[in-house]
Amino acid sequence: MRLYVKNFPFTTVEAELEAFFRDYGGAGCYIIRDHDGTSRGRGFVTAEPEALALDGVEFQGRTLGVSPATSRRSAA
């Protein structure tokens, strides 16, 4: 399941986020970055649905928001 994760520190790297979700089947992640490569503090993780239980859990001093990822609406 693809999850949308928000509110993690801008200094977080992919390996740290993947390790945090590993117990929930975390198989990969993508951190959204600005045009200059700076993290936006949000991204996507592929994990088991049980990882939704991490919503509201503290990670590196911040409270994570974890929800199912949805597809973007096409601009019409």
> 18-66 pLDDT, tens per residue?
999 999 998 899 999 999 999 999 999 999 999 999 999 999 999 999 9
Domains and their CATH numbers in the chain: 2-65 (3.30.70.330)
Name the residue with higher pLDDT: 23 or 73. 23
Helix/strand/coil for 26: coil
The band of 74, judged by pLDDT with boundaries at 50, 70 and 90, is low
pTM for the whole structure? 0.89
Residue from 3, 33, 29 nearest 14 by CA: 29
Amino acid, single-letter form, for residue 46: T
